[in-house]
Structure 1
Amino acid sequence: MKRIIALVAALSTLIFLFACSQQPAQQAEAPKQDVNVRLELQKASTLEKIVQRGTLRVGLEAGYMPFEMTDKKGTVVGFDVDMVTEMAKAMGVKLEIVNTAWDGIIPGLLSDKYDLIASGMTINQERNLKVNFANPYIVVGQTALIAAQSADKIQTWKDLNNEGVVITSKLGTTGEQAAKRLFPKATYKSFEMEDQAMLETLNGKADATVYDLPMTSIFFAQRGKEAGMKFLNEPFTYEPLGWAINKGDPDFLNWLNNFIVQIRNDGRYERIYNKWFGSNDWYADIQ
């Protein structure tokens, strides 16, 4: 009996010693795994991929004056283009513009066709479910262009919410969302492009177009004022615009936010803003 007890005690001691000898090895492996995970996360950063590739790929839809548009030479120009040009310079890489349709612009980012979206995109919660946004680089809002024959009956934007009023805007934009949300009594008509929506109102086939300032301001100055349209130029929504990137990339997001702060304080932002919003000289070069 004593032998059995002694044998059991000896086996217990061996098992304990074996377990103790294995524990440090297991604990030693854990930090290596953590380091590997951190390295993988760093390798996955879009910022590092851009630098290694030597090219910053930017997705946009050229058709939103003066943010992005095509000039007479076929070159995409505008406020957003100048901003990302400065961004590429700061990274020390080349800039590649990827012109894409608006309804596919977020799917294009998610499928890695470009590194970020810089296309006058309003930051909202619905989009934020799919992408991350850097801090706003400009704030705009919805305004309304009123047809000449409707100028008397529509005095403020609240008058748009009446039966018999026909409102137009661009498909898939915050203008469309605002029109449906704020003016449920009105009839809404959607168009593929914003200029089509505005022409519908200009030609008297709709009462109003709801769309972003300053696009409505440019259209009114160029065509609407002469045609007798009314321009309700006081925005009735708050819409910050931001650059969109894929989720799970804090390094890239941090870089973009710091870039915004830097250019706002070194004169570059003011120079670019005044070029596109302080003057209409650029309009002569647009198709």
Structure 2
Amino acid sequence: MCGRYATTVDPGLLAVELDAIDETDPNEELKPEEAGPNFNVAPTTKVATVVKRHDRDAPDAEATLRVRRMRWGLVPHWTKAAEPGVPAKGKPLFNARADKAATTPAFRDALKFKRCLVPMDGWYEWITEPDSAGKAVKRPFYMTPADGSRIYMAGLWSVWRDGGSPLLSCTILTTDSVGELQRIHDRMPLIMPREHWAAWLDPDHPVDTGLLESPSAELVASLEIRPVSPKVNSVRNNSPDLVERAEQAEQSEQISLL
């Protein structure tokens, strides 16, 4: 499962790094956390994604990488409108099981030809366990590459239209957890290694089902499982200390109070 994550990369910088076209709209109205680094990304937030598409004016030309901003929480193209330009509310489709996406109505069309990557610094999960008084509490953990690099999750995307500007939205695929992550949660986001990007993003061919399997044990072993501050439990909190190891976060908070 992946219901909260952190990302600090600017879409323009991401496009330069990947030699991609930045298709984000500089005039788009964004919330502060959507416009800058976001250490507590929650569903319905607009996030940066990577797709590979053909140019509309040159459909026969080779498809190219493009960075697009999308709403996290997929809105299927067949969703009815609640009012002009506003899709009706439904289940918050921010995650999709990789093993069921091909047969799930909300995801099966996107799995065929609308696959994306969702870049992030890391993601959060919670363990519920008793405290010293025996009361159940949620303890957050942050999963991130130990070498400080960025990770890319396999996602699906959709375009919803109702006369006005199209609404682009995405979901993150999940698989059974691997290795040490199993003690945190039974599900994990599907990490897509760079060597599989071309096949995953290919807009002209159906997905290779092998890409939907859980990440390798070696890839998961390269992640750090870091206890973090319970401040992340509230989406109202959004600051760099959320991703710090719990002991460091507590020290930072004490210093800020001096």
Q: TM-score range by the shorter chain?
A: under 0.3
The TM-score, its normalising length taken from structure 2, stands at 0.23
The TM-score, its normalising length taken from structure 1, stands at 0.21
> Considering only CA atoms, is the larger Rg found in Structure 1 or Structure 2?
1
Larger strand percent: 2
